[in-house]
Amino acid sequence: MGVSCGSYLRDRCSRLFPFFSDPALRSAFYLKLALVLLHIVFVGVLFLFDRDLIEKTKHEPWYTAMYALLFVATLIQYFVTAGTSPGYVIDVQKAIDERDAAARRKLLASNIQKAVDDRDAAARKTLLASKQPASSKNGDVVITVDGRNNCRGNTTAWTKLVMSLSPQRSSTTSLTCSYCNIPQPPRAKHCHDCNKCVLQFDHHCVWLGTCIGQGNHCRFWWYICEETALTIWTSILYTGYLKSNILKAWWADIILIILLVALSISLIFLMLLLLFHSYLIMTNQTTYELVRRRRIVYLRGIPERVYPFSEGVCRNLYLFYCARSSSSMYRLERLPTAQELEDKSRPYTCYDVLSCRCC
Ligand SMILES: [Zn+2]
Ligand SMILES: [Zn+2]
C-alpha cells in the first residue's frame, strides 16, 4: 500500500513537473530544497524565540531589513552559482568549431564570387578583343581554394587550438579525454559526476550539485563570502539571545545552543574555505592542481613554490574578478615555456621585492 502510494505520488509529480522523472534532476531538486529549509530553520527559530529581536525590528526596521537582504542575496547567489555552467569543454569546442566552419563558408563564398567576377571580366575582355560572342564548353565554374583553408582532414579548429596551447604534449592522443573523446586544453579535467570535461576544473561541489570550474569559480567565491557573512551575523544574534535569556526557558536555550554549535562548526568550515579559495585565486591555482600536483603531467617537476599560471597577485585578481564580461566567455591558458618557468623559479632578490615582482 505504502509502495503503491509512493509510486502514485511520484507519477503525479513526474506528470506535473517533468524533471521528476530524471533521478539526477530529482536529487538536485531535493538538495536545493534541503538547503533552503536549513536556512529557514536557522533564521526562523531565532525569530520564533527572540522577542527582543522582534521588538528591535519594530523600532529599527532597517536592521532586520539588512539581515533579510543578506539572507535573500545568499540564497539567490547559491541558485545562480548552481545554475551557471562551470565551462564544459564540449560547449567551448562546439562553439569554436562552428565559428571556424562559418568562417570557412564565408571564405568559400567570397572565393566563388571572386572567381565568377574574374571569369566574367576575362570573358568581357575576350569579347571585346575578338568582337565575337563568348563560347564555353559548359557553365561550370572551377574554383581553387587555398589548400591551407580547405584541407580540414580530421584536425578541427579546436584540436589545432589545443595543440598550440600545449606545445610540450604534442601528441593528440595524449591530450584527448578517453570519456568525452575530445582534446583537453591545459588545466581541464574530466569530472566523473558531470561526465564532462571542465575548463580550469577546481572540484565537484556536492553542496551545489555542480562542478566548480572557470565558468562559475568567481560566483562560488562570492557565494562562500555571503554565506560566511550570514553565518557570522546569525551567530551574533544567537549569542545575544542566549546572553539575555539564559535560564528563562531552558528547553528553548537547549535548541538554540545546539543550533549555535552547528553554526559555529559551519562558520569555521566556511572561513577556512574562503581563505583557501582566496589563496588559490591570488596564485592562479585550482584545488585539483594543488591537491594532485605531483600526479598532473604538466605540473610534474615544477618546484612547489612556483605557480606556473600565476601572472602576479594583482593581475590574477583582475583576471578572476573583472576580466570575464559574460558568462559564456572563457580564457584558455597555454602551458608556460621552460624559460618562463625558469624565470618564475628564480629566487627573490631585494630588487624584486622593491619592484613588486609578484604584482
Ligand atoms: Zn572528458
Ligand atoms: Zn562535476
Q: In the numeric block, which cell numbers belong to residue 349?
A: 632578490
Confidence band for 194, pLDDT divided at 50, 70 and 90: very high
Residue 278 in this model has a pLDDT that exceeds 80: yes
Q: DSSP character for 38?
A: H
Residue 358 in this model has a pLDDT that exceeds 80: no
Q: In the numeric block, which cell numbers belong to residue 241?
A: 539571545
Give the Å distance between the CA of 78 and the centre of ligand 2.
Answer: 16
Give the Å distance between the CA of 291 and the centre of ligand 2.
Answer: 17
Residue 312 to residues 144, 159, 165, 218: CA-CA distances in angstroms?
A: 49, 29, 20, 18
Distance CA 57, CA 204 (A): 40
Q: Tell me whether residue 220 is in a domain.
A: no
**Mean pLDDT confidence for 36-56:** 90
Distance CA 36, CA 129 (A): 84
Q: Is there a contact between 217 and 320 (Cβ–Cβ < 8 Å)?
A: yes
Quick one: pLDDT at residue 137? 43
Residue 151 in this model has a pLDDT that exceeds 60: no
Q: Tell me whether residue 177 is in a domain.
A: yes
Which amino acid makes up residue 183? P
Give the Å distance between the CA of 353 and the centre of ligand 2.
Answer: 40
**Mean pLDDT confidence for 178-183:** 92
Give the Å distance between the CA of 81 and the centre of ligand 2.
Answer: 13
More confident residue, 129 or 328: 328
Q: Tell me whether residue 297 is in a domain.
A: no
Ligand nearest to the CA of 190: 1
Q: Tell me whether residue 320 is in a domain.
A: no
Range of the domain at 181: 89-131+141-198
Percent over 90 (pLDDT), the chain:
44
- The reply to whether 194 belongs to the active site is no
Quick one: pLDDT at residue 125? 72
Q: Which of 45, 79, 33 is nearest to 251 (CA)?
A: 45
Q: Which of 318, 293, 92 is nearest to 310 (CA)?
A: 318
**Mean pLDDT confidence for 4-30:** 73
Give the Å distance between the CA of 189 and the centre of ligand 1.
Answer: 7
**Mean pLDDT confidence for 209-215:** 94
The structural domain count of the chain equals 1
Quick one: pLDDT at residue 355? 59
Of 13, 177, 194, 205, which one is the catalytic site residue? 205
Q: What is the pTM for the complete model shown?
A: 0.80
Least confident stretch, 19-28, 65-74, 96-105: 19-28
Ligand nearest to the CA of 210: 2
Confidence band for 303, pLDDT divided at 50, 70 and 90: confident
**Mean pLDDT confidence for 198-211:** 94
Which amino acid makes up residue 182? I
**Sign of the dihedral defined by the CA atoms of residues 257, 263, 266, 267, in that order:** negative
Ligand nearest to the CA of 202: 2
DSSP string, 41-59: HHHHHHHHH-HHHHHHHHH
Q: Tell me whether residue 277 is in a domain.
A: no
Q: Tell me whether residue 175 is in a domain.
A: yes
Mean pLDDT of the chain: 83
Residue 138 in this model has a pLDDT that exceeds 50: no
pLDDT digits (tens, 9 = 90+) for 85-126: 999 999 988 888 888 888 888 888 887 777 777 777 776 776
Confidence band for 5, pLDDT divided at 50, 70 and 90: low
Residue 13 in this model has a pLDDT that exceeds 50: yes
Q: In the numeric block, which cell numbers belong to residue 269?
A: 568550515
Quick one: pLDDT at residue 152? 43
Quick one: pLDDT at residue 14? 66
Give the Å distance between the CA of 183 and the centre of ligand 2.
Answer: 18
Ligand nearest to the CA of 194: 2
More confident residue, 184 or 134: 184
Residue 143 in this model has a pLDDT that exceeds 50: no
Which amino acid makes up residue 91? D
Q: Tell me whether residue 46 is in a domain.
A: no
Give the Å distance between the CA of 195 and the centre of ligand 1.
Answer: 7
Q: Tell me whether residue 160 is in a domain.
A: yes
